[in-house]
Structure 1
């Protein structure tokens, strides 16, 4: 076929199907416009819902989880509406999507278990945003619970993304649940030390700090007679927010006081005896 003849046939086809082309062009443009406007509206709506929930003092983990579900549901509705504009039969499309969803669901059982675990974590409230927890083989401050994952931040500002099912199926330790915590210290001293003197020193150092709570009472006692040292337990109760700062300060003060009173804190040592064989 000559190029001129092919061009003539294309022109004739365009002339004969002009209304059809205009119809589909308008529908495609409307579908694209629906997608753009829909995505913008969904973003504004979900952002507004999230802000409203947080203004109502709803826990941010619940707010973020609810917003995520709402966002994905609305986006699916926008996509279906856009497809209907270009002539796709949405009823058939929904059926196809349902069948595909079942197949994908069977293939992605882990993701579905993460979703279910996220719902359970939100429902039972084992922790909330801002709590420091240990779970799923890691630890950190909870930032949010997403549809499939939980976001943690470590004290050195690293983000950890943990699957929800991994947290739910593991032991969860929430260090921020209660307002007070018990600080457990083990102080070792030499067998030559005066135990009454050591106990009095520990009592004095601990009670001198205003961050130590008077109730419950601090427990100081000999806990173990080791191979090279006598071990004391020092267990004051503190506000959870003072835990780490008080621990570091008490260890420093106890060491300084023991040095001042010449109380030895032993460390592991080994005596080596060399025997020289005499050559006859």
Structure 2
């Protein structure tokens, strides 16, 4: 701060010397600076539009294209302003020192915001998910509706909107259910200890084979999962496309229950056997 204060008298001295005797030379410089500003701003807009078209041609992410275009435009305009000020003959050293200190203060004040911005750029480059993907993050699940430079908007299955800061998305474990295109349905069905296990397995495999939404590759898996207290639990693991995951889940639950009833296969209720011991009379 002391170096900035030492530059202020130099700037005041220049202003006092030149503003006190405005002449043709200064008028010409002012007109030249105005011309630099007008042409420079026009050139900055043209360069930004050209950069955006070039990024769109290579199918760059919209968030990356927007950020790169705005950043290039801002840098171009700053250079134009510096050139206009330099053309007036104003000493740049004290101005740049003041701007540097102000920029540092603003950067510290907006540290959290800048973190979100940097995270937005990382998300656009690394692309852990795209718009339309179904993801889970920090206990929230939803479909990505929009990606912005500071935040991402999710829509939950019950149509709630979640605004998620981008820094959370880059610093937390994230599950993308859509990226691979297929998902495994995990179901468990319990049958009685008195039922024929081979017959139950064949019946479950037949139900899966008859559904066109169940993929052949990877092949579905059916097998005894656990010998529980009241039932023998079968694991049913078919693979399907992400769009068919929930419809297939609902249909299989209903169809298997109805088929078990038709075939006389029992889904037992939890039960406990209690043995009583009679004590001999004294």
TM-score band, normalised by shorter chain: 0.5 to 0.7
The structural deviation recorded for 1:69 is 5.6
Find the counterpart in structure 2 of residue 130 from structure 1: 132
Pick closer, same or farther for the CA change 1:50–1:76 going to 2, 3 Å. closer
Find the counterpart in structure 1 of residue 201 from structure 2: 199
Q: In the alignment, which of 182, 185, 188 is matched to residue 184 of structure 2?
A: 182
The structural deviation recorded for 1:220 is 0.5
Q: Does 1:117 align with 2:119?
A: yes
| Contact 2:64 2:125 survives alignment (8 Å) | no
Q: Does 1:157 align with 2:159?
A: yes
Find the counterpart in structure 2 of residue 232 from structure 1: 234
Pick closer, same or farther for the CA change 1:235–1:50 going to 2, 3 Å. farther
Find the counterpart in structure 2 of residue 67 from structure 1: 66
Indicate the SS of the match to 1:168.
helix
TM-score normalised to the size of structure 2? 0.66
Indicate the SS of the match to 2:154.
strand
- Deviation string, structure 1 residues 104-152 (Cα, Å, up to 9, x no partner): 3223332222222222222222112211111243222223332221222
Q: Does 1:100 align with 2:102?
A: yes
Q: Structure 2 unaligned runs (5+)?
A: 1-33, 85-89, 276-282
The structural deviation recorded for 1:223 is 0.8
CA root-mean-square deviation: 3.9
| Contact 2:133 2:178 survives alignment (8 Å) | yes
Q: Structure 1 unaligned runs (5+)?
A: 1-29, 274-280
Q: Does 1:250 align with 2:249?
A: no
Count of aligned pairs between the two proteins:
234
| Contact 2:221 2:236 survives alignment (8 Å) | yes
In structure 2, how many angstroms separate the alpha carbons of the residues matched to 1:272 and 1:72? 76
In structure 2, how many angstroms separate the alpha carbons of the residues matched to 1:198 and 1:220? 10
| Contact 1:129 1:142 survives alignment (8 Å) | yes
Pick closer, same or farther for the CA change 1:128–1:93 going to 2, 3 Å. farther
